[in-house]
Structure 1
Amino acid sequence: MSEQAVRSERDDHVVLGKLTSPYGVKGWLKVYSHTSPMDGILEYPEWVLRQDGTLTRHRLLQGRRHGKGLVALLEGIDSREAAERAAGAEVLLSKTELPELDGDEYYWHQLEGLTVVTREGMVLGRVAYLFETGANDVLVVRGDPQDVPPAIDDRERLLPFLPEEVIVEVDLTGGVMTVAWDPYF
């Protein structure tokens, strides 16, 4: 079976990248990767594609760097027309297939949604998302006084992800990140 419907909850997967557009006439697609390094996405032999709320599973037949990006050929997508239909799909991976990390390392999806609290116990909000800069990763923390526990205000703060310097402790089980940060900054 080259294409098989997959039933799964959204929270069971992480987004590895996106199929952007066809490349050539034989079903190849350009791939935008969220992995670091960029071609790390090619190490996963099976991709789950999400498009218009539908999940399908495809085996990665070939993939390689092309210019500044990537191209891939997936089982079941063997013509330009099929590639055009697949363009725009997100490339997902089951969280259970992610490699194990060391104790002080985290996947971004694990940090999203954590309650951010100062050492003094003031709730700044929740981690909305992260982004890369040249120097370090940055946490976007959004406050919401309606949350439980309530944040001190409704501000959005950008905190550098600097372990030991700004990030004091990450408790994934408790859903809390403790930070050394001035709440009025």
Structure 2
Amino acid sequence: MEKWFNVGKIVNTHGIKGEVRVISRTDFPEARYKVGNVLYLFLPKSTTPIELTIKSHRTHKNFELLTFEGFENINDVEKFRDGILKVPESQLGELNEDEYYYHEIIGCMVFTMNGDEIGKITEILTPGANDVWVVKGKGGKEVLIPYIYDVVKKVDVKEKTVFIEPMEGLLS
């Protein structure tokens, strides 16, 4: 059974030439939405995915704008609205050292280098220079951990553990 990973949601059309507006859920949009790549569209009331080949990609405001080969106008893509774009696990590429997919990080337990438990990573924010991991601690308190070398010392995705060296004020 193939495992599928969500890379975006089509929220609307854009213009009349078959462009769709996508809210991206992928870790690497520049690589995932490259011209020629294949994505699979899962529509709300369908069990069979539609294979789509990317014809063009550009970023506009907070959206990724995509066109697909063979879908040249708004009438062709109108039915794609609310569809989820996914890729099979076999399409996940190899990453460099110290790079991880979101699904590998979310759910990891975070500990200090002394072994003190901080909590579980529930979300990843991408505000700019570096990612920020949202950790739900004991009592429901959220802690924001910047994914930078000075703080994150060891990540073990197999064991689902992360060890950090907190900067002053990070945990208070």
Q: TM-score, normalised by structure 1?
A: 0.73
Partner of 2:160: 175
CA contact 2:6–2:26 (8 Å) conserved in 1: no
Match of 2:38 among 36, 42, 46: 46
- Number of aligned residues: 166
Match of 2:9 among 15, 18, 38: 18
Pair 1:116-2:117 in alignment: no
User: Aligned equivalents of 2:113 and 2:139: distance in 1?
Assistant: 17
Structure 1 residues 141 and 96: CA distance shift in structure 2, 3 A: same
User: Aligned equivalents of 1:66 and 1:118: distance in 2?
Assistant: 38
> How does 1:4-153 map onto structure 2 within 5 Å?
8=2, 12-25=3-16, 27-35=18-26, 38-43=29-34, 45-52=37-44, 54=47, 56-60=49-53, 62-65=55-58, 69-73=64-68, 80-143=74-137, 152-153=138-139
Give the residue type in structure 1 aligned to 2:49. Answer: T
CA contact 2:110–2:162 (8 Å) conserved in 1: yes
User: Aligned equivalents of 2:27 and 2:114: distance in 1?
Assistant: 35
User: Aligned equivalents of 1:183 and 1:24: distance in 2?
Assistant: 45
CA contact 2:124–2:134 (8 Å) conserved in 1: yes
Q: TM-score, normalised by structure 2?
A: 0.78
CA RMSD of aligned residues (A): 2.9
CA contact 1:28–1:72 (8 Å) conserved in 2: yes
Gap runs ≥5 in structure 2: none
Q: CA shift at 1:179, angstroms?
A: 1.1
CA contact 2:119–2:135 (8 Å) conserved in 1: yes
Give the residue type in structure 2 aligned to 1:158. Answer: L
